[in-house]
Structure 1
Amino acid sequence: MRRIFLSLGLAQPDEPVVASALAGGVSSGIYRVDLRSGSYCVKQALPRLKVTKEWLVPVERVFGEIGYLRTALRIVPGHVPRVLGEDEASKSFVMEFLGPQFRNWKSELLAGRIDPAVARQVGELLGRIHAATAHDAQLAKQFANDEHFMALRLDPYLVEAARVHPALAGRLLPLVERTANTRRVLVHGDVSPKNILAGPRGPVLLDAECAWFGDPAFDVAFCLNHFLLKAAHLPALAQPLLACFDAMQGAYFAQARWEAQEALAGRVASLLPGLTLARVDGKSPVEYLSEPARQAVRGLAIQLLKQEGLSLEAIAACWAREFKS
């Protein structure tokens, strides 16, 4: 680690470089380094994720994350951290450290501080990135990370849910195939509130190690899913959480002009209950649901998976009925 800071000119030769581990995340080692020149964040990819089930992933994914952050910085400056340098040998990189004025959005939501305006900003931000990268042949080549996306997202989420629920494989596996073969935009792959900081000038996207040129529906469904899960966890706050659901997708679709919105919204809606089921029975279950809430989420996700022609409005209405305070 000392080598990379010296090579970047961020540390002096006589200066100790000491890293302090930061909490959060299951896929990487994340550290804070305080030097005379300032504070920095170092991220190093792990070959095995820190979850109960075995989950092995290629460490080369770190270079996809670096590429995503640099690409997004050109499109939405100030809404992703700046990459300051990388180290191929250790599969790590240095980025700017964002201080306490940046609040973790997951923590805010779970604490009951729910602001649909933030969700609207996230939807607009994601829409701008997708719109600016749509049908870009150069980015499609740079981010042809199909194997990484399968190992990080499709297999541990949807395929694993099909393993747990073989009777639903006929619903879940076609979602995997369709998503894997739809290539439209630069996809973040982990648009989750835990990877979003609410900052003074709007949201900041983190943790883009699942970056892939693929289906924009995945990013949208992945984020919308978290409002549903938190509504199940906090039914007294289901109404403002579902207002976030509406605000985010409304702002996003206002930017989506690269394909027919009806087709895109249909893919988001059909993918959403599969991802919901995956967050209780996949390799990365959410940690905050009680067992009764987990059972309710599972039952509703299965019910929705079996429906044809599902819409986002129907999903939100179903969730509101199930989890109203």
Structure 2
Amino acid sequence: MIVDSHQLDAEELPRFLDARSLLQPHETVTQITLLEGGVSGTVYRVGTSDGREFVVKRALEQLNVADDWHADPARAIHEARAIRVLHALTPQNVPELFDADEETNTITMEAAPADWLTWKQRMLAPAETAGSIDHVAIARSLATALASWQRTALHHPAVLARFADKSLFEALRVDPFHRVIRGVHPALAPAIDACIDELEQAELTLVHGDFSPKNVLVPPTPGPTPWVIDFEVVHVGHPVFDVAFLCSHLILKSIHLPQRRAEVDAARSAFLAGFEAEVDGVLRSAATASLGRHTACLLLARVDGKSPASYLTAAERETVRQLAVDVLASADPEAAFAELTAGAEHSASRAHPASAELTARKEPS
């Protein structure tokens, strides 16, 4: 039975931190900031009189989206296990976990410097406020981290055994993404089902499950290594998912940001090249053989699934939709994906073969 956690409020935080022995004697909470952007729970940044800072996160059963979307809040404790494992592997890329409270499904972890923002925020920000960001360097660092996680887990069955349960991945990814778009686009069911089967049946290595720019924290200037956060969906599965997930997000940003298309596309290329260079051969083959089809599924999910990309305009959503449909309906999805995502082929200003039909079609509510 799923037991929901009550909403974590700012007034409760000091008492909670004290009860969990996270505050030193005479140390007090001096600042509490509610962090925006998450859909799975409540997240606060907390500062203390000793100059220390924490991030406190409580998972909720009902996610903060328009649709009816539920998941077991005990995923917070699952996330805590993942943070411990991945921080040990790549401490430069993963914050340290300080506490995990199973009774309230609340975790407390290291906070990044206050001037760090998510990679998504940096990409979407106006040029004058985005900071001096080296997108290619960030992508290369993420490729190195992901390859390290997958490579290490592949050779350590004990690590894999701790994350064998795929129920959270089903509830937070396959159901709201793949199965929803399957209902919206029944003609594409064979291609979507093939992706679902691969994701559900594979037990090759550790998969983050939400490897996206919104879960990457970066400094305002090049130098420090970016952090990866949000490990609720970590599981043993198919290595293609994380690669396709990040690629899909970068393609969305490329379509939405024509003025930054060259650098965003260069980051995607650098990520793929870095990952392929550093990961084991068996994982490399698995992650690239059906990358186009999986990326297209995830693109379609971001316009027709339960968690659409809110920053896309109606025209951009139609561009993404048609790109994904063209790939999934193709007899050779991998070739179609390579062609449609090459250069300016996915430009929002470029007419698709079915552009007249798309212009006449009413945008779904």
Q: TM-score, normalised by structure 2?
A: 0.83
The Cα shift of 1:102 comes to 2.1
The Cα shift of 1:17 comes to 8.2
**d(CA) in 2 for partners of 1:257, 1:209:** 25
Is the 2:169–2:234 contact (alpha carbons within 8 Å) kept by the matching residues of 1?
Answer: yes
After superposing the two structures, state which structure 1 stretch, 268-277 or 132-141, moved more: 132-141
**d(CA) in 2 for partners of 1:212, 1:121:** 22
**d(CA) in 2 for partners of 1:269, 1:224:** 10
The Cα shift of 1:35 comes to 2.1
Give per-residue Cα distances to partners, 1:9-49, cap 9 Å, x unaligned. Answer: 42447846874421121011101222223221100001011
Is the 1:242–1:320 contact (alpha carbons within 8 Å) kept by the matching residues of 2?
Answer: no
After superposing the two structures, state which structure 1 stretch, 203-212 or 300-309, moved more: 300-309
The residue aligned with 2:250 is 227
SS of corresponding position for 2:180: helix
Q: Which amino acid aligns with 2:252?
A: L
Work out which of the residue numbers 161, 168, 176 in structure 1 matches 2:196.
176
SS of corresponding position for 2:217: strand
The residue aligned with 2:211 is 191
Q: Which runs of 5+ in 1 are unaligned?
A: none
The two structures, once aligned, show a CA RMSD in angstroms of 2.1
Give per-residue Cα distances to partners, 1:68-94, cap 9 Å, x unaligned. Answer: 111111111121111001111100011
- 1:88 is aligned to 2:102: yes
The residue aligned with 2:171 is 151
Work out which of the residue numbers 47, 69, 75 in structure 2 matches 1:61.
75
Cα pair distance change 1:75/1:46, threshold 3 Å: same
**d(CA) in 2 for partners of 1:253, 1:116:** 15
- 1:117 is aligned to 2:144: no
**d(CA) in 1 for partners of 2:44, 2:288:** 38
Give per-residue Cα distances to partners, 1:235-286, cap 9 Å, x unaligned. Answer: 2322221111100011111111150633420132221100000000000000
Structure number with greater CO (CA < 8 Å, separation at least 6) is: 1
- 1:99 is aligned to 2:113: yes
Is the 1:266–1:309 contact (alpha carbons within 8 Å) kept by the matching residues of 2?
Answer: no
Q: Which runs of 5+ in 2 are unaligned?
A: 1-12, 350-365
After superposing the two structures, state which structure 1 stretch, 118-127 or 295-304, moved more: 118-127
Q: Which amino acid aligns with 2:265?
A: L
The residue aligned with 2:328 is 305
The Cα shift of 1:109 comes to 1.1
Q: Highest CA radius of gyration, 1 or 2?
A: 2
Cα pair distance change 1:106/1:83, threshold 3 Å: same
Q: TM-score, normalised by structure 1?
A: 0.93
Is the 1:80–1:205 contact (alpha carbons within 8 Å) kept by the matching residues of 2?
Answer: yes
The residue aligned with 1:79 is 93
SS of corresponding position for 2:226: strand
- 1:275 is aligned to 2:298: yes
**d(CA) in 1 for partners of 2:234, 2:170:** 11
Cα pair distance change 1:18/1:227, threshold 3 Å: closer
Q: Which amino acid aligns with 2:314?
A: E
**d(CA) in 2 for partners of 1:278, 1:230:** 15
After superposing the two structures, state which structure 1 stretch, 224-233 or 235-244, moved more: 235-244
**d(CA) in 2 for partners of 1:96, 1:174:** 39
Work out which of the residue numbers 139, 144, 162 in structure 1 matches 2:159.
139
**d(CA) in 1 for partners of 2:225, 2:27:** 38
The count of corresponding residues between Structure 1 and Structure 2 is 324
SS of corresponding position for 1:197: strand
Work out which of the residue numbers 259, 262, 276 in structure 2 matches 1:239.
262
The Cα shift of 1:4 comes to 4.3
**d(CA) in 2 for partners of 1:56, 1:168:** 26
The residue aligned with 1:322 is 346
**d(CA) in 1 for partners of 2:39, 2:267:** 26
**d(CA) in 1 for partners of 2:285, 2:272:** 13
Is the 1:11–1:35 contact (alpha carbons within 8 Å) kept by the matching residues of 2?
Answer: no
**d(CA) in 2 for partners of 1:15, 1:244:** 42
Q: Which amino acid aligns with 1:85?
A: D
Is the 1:238–1:324 contact (alpha carbons within 8 Å) kept by the matching residues of 2?
Answer: no
The residue aligned with 2:37 is 24
Q: Which amino acid aligns with 1:220?
A: V
Is the 2:27–2:49 contact (alpha carbons within 8 Å) kept by the matching residues of 1?
Answer: no
After superposing the two structures, state which structure 1 stretch, 103-112 or 245-254, moved more: 103-112
**d(CA) in 1 for partners of 2:160, 2:254:** 36
Is the 1:131–1:257 contact (alpha carbons within 8 Å) kept by the matching residues of 2?
Answer: yes
Q: Which amino acid aligns with 1:109?
A: M
